[in-house]
Amino acid sequence: MVNYFTDGMDWARYARSRPNIHPTAVRLFRSFVGSDLRFCLALDVGCGTGQSTVALAEVAERVIGIDSSADMLKHATPWPNVEYRETRAEATPFRDGEFNLVAAGQAYHWFEHGAFLAESHRLLREVGWLLVYTSWFTGEIREEPAFRDWFEKEHLGRYPTPPRDRTPLSEELARKHGFELRGQEEFLNELGMTLEHFTDYQLSTTNIIAAVREGTESFDNAERWLRDSLRPFFEGSPEKPFLFNGRTWYAQKPVGG
Ligand SMILES: C[S@@+](CC[C@H](N)C(=O)[O-])C[C@H]1O[C@@H](n2cnc3c(N)ncnc32)[C@H](O)[C@@H]1O
């Protein structure tokens, strides 16, 4: 799988503009496993600039965020009890059974699923949890159907989504790697974003990073086009309610598993 986050992008822009859906996913997970449960040591796999890692610090005493992109990690948010390491999801340097929680937020679709699940199983103690979650922009501003039309036809027509492995974590796949899939949930987030913020966010997506990498577009051009096309949707209101869907999966390493 190509890692679009390793070079040729603006990591600071990524860090400041990603919609922060992580607290919602972590809150759902927390109430699923029991809100009193606190993990000693959690691992955030594909942590990027640390938004997901910081959210995990709410449920764990210590969190280690790992990512295979050194540049993402250079822009990672420093946080008490959080550290960052450069390493791959599929082969980490940690000891067997070192973690109580392994999480992958917005990142599982970039991993080699089998190898990541086998590595997570190795890293977790018995009864340890694996939390996988993802969120995606629905292409909608609430109560503004014309935006969806623009997004699907114009935006995605110009900047198609590059391939990734969207296969969900199934019961069968979890079991094959020694996990029991205990639950899954869906969520919806409504986030108010300005023209500035939404443009920055779009420029940090792999749709545009891929076009720039392939040489069919430059960030400057994309930024100009986005601003001009999006401006009419912000007339009369500096901030619009953008809708994001999400999904979580909770798997557990059973006793003796
Ligand atoms: C969409 S970003 C998500 C980052 C962060 N979890 C967040 O939500 O802001 C995906 C991250 O996965 C990382 N990544 C992709 N493939 C990886 C792999 N095989 N091992 C470790 N990290 C990987 C990328 O470098 C990138 O930082």
pLDDT number for residue 182: 98
Residue 21: pLDDT over 90: yes
Residue 48 CA, ligand 1 centroid: distance in Å? 5
pLDDT number for residue 98: 98
Average pLDDT taken over every residue of the chain: 97
Residue 35: pLDDT over 90: no
pLDDT band at 225 (very low <50, low <70, confident <90, very high): very high
Residue 73 CA, ligand 1 centroid: distance in Å? 10
Structural domains in the chain, sorted by start: 11-138+163-190+244-252 (3.40.50.150)
- Quick one: which atom of ligand 1 is closest to the CA of 47? 6
Residue 65: pLDDT over 90: yes
Residue 69: pLDDT over 90: yes
CA distance 214 to 163: 14
Residue 136 β-bridge partners = 245
Look at 16-25, 31-40, 102-111 and tell me which has the smallest mean pLDDT. Answer: 31-40
Residues with Cβ within 6 A of ligand 1? 3, 5, 18, 46-48, 51-52, 67-69, 72, 88-90, 105-107, 110-111
Q: What percentage of the chain has pLDDT greater than the value 70?
A: 100
- Tokens 């699940």 correspond to 117
Q: 210 CB contacts (<8 Å, ≥6 apart)?
A: 4, 159, 162
Residue 167: pLDDT over 90: yes
Residue 199's CB is within 10 A of a number of other CB atoms, namely 22
Residue 231 CA, ligand 1 centroid: distance in Å? 31
Q: Whose CA is nearest to atom 14 of ligand 1?
A: 46
Q: Taking residues 24-46, report their average pLDDT.
A: 96
Output the pTM of the full model. 0.97
pLDDT number for residue 8: 82
Pairing of strands 180-194, 124-141: unpaired
pLDDT number for residue 1: 84
Q: Taking residues 216-227, report their average pLDDT.
A: 97
Residue 23: pLDDT over 90: yes
Residue 7: pLDDT over 90: no
